[in-house]
Amino acid sequence: MPSKATQQPHGGEPDMSEEVALLGEYEYYLSQKQELLASFEGKVVLIKGKEVIGIFDTDEAAYWEGRRRFGNVPFLIHHIEQEEEVVWFPVLEIGYPDGSL
């Protein structure tokens, strides 16, 4: 389960039922977060598996290094920040009638 850094504002545990391809990389990031913050706060980290591949100034630079080294496979590009962003995303129960206009 995620560390305290990923606790959501509503008090309960996050729902991890959906498939998340980068869960392993993210958990590794959280395990290394304090160490990364000490030296690289505000930067972007590239992680593959349980390895920090590099630290970059931009998402784009990290992306191209990941693509160059690993190709078209999942790898984590994450901003090193004290607070993990929680994106407000309301639950949808819409059900468009025919999926077209």
Partner 1 sequence: MAVFSRTYQAGPRLSSPAYLSRYGPVIKVRIQVPDDAGTLPTNLPDSGTHGRQGLALIDTGAARSAVDAGVIRGMGVVPVDVAMTGTAVGSHLLDVFPATLGFDELGLTLVFDKVLGANIAAQGIIAILGRDVLRRMVLVYDGVSGHVVIAH
By CB under 8 A, the residues from 34 to 63 that bind partner 1 are 59-60, 63
Q: Kindly tell me which of 37 and 65 has the beta carbon lying closer to partner 1.
A: 65
Which two three-digit tokens encode residue 56?
Answer: 């970059």
Q: Distance between alpha carbon 97 and the CA centroid of its chain, in Å?
A: 34
Query: Among 65, 78, 80, 81, which residue interacts with partner 1 (rule: CB under 8 A)?
Result: 78
Query: Among 39, 73, 81, 82, which residue interacts with partner 1 (rule: CB under 8 A)?
Result: 73
Strand order in the sheet with 44-48: 51-56, 44-48, 76-79
What single DSSP character describes residue 57? S
Select the span of 4-12, 35-43, 49-57 touching partner 1 (CB under 8 A).
4-12
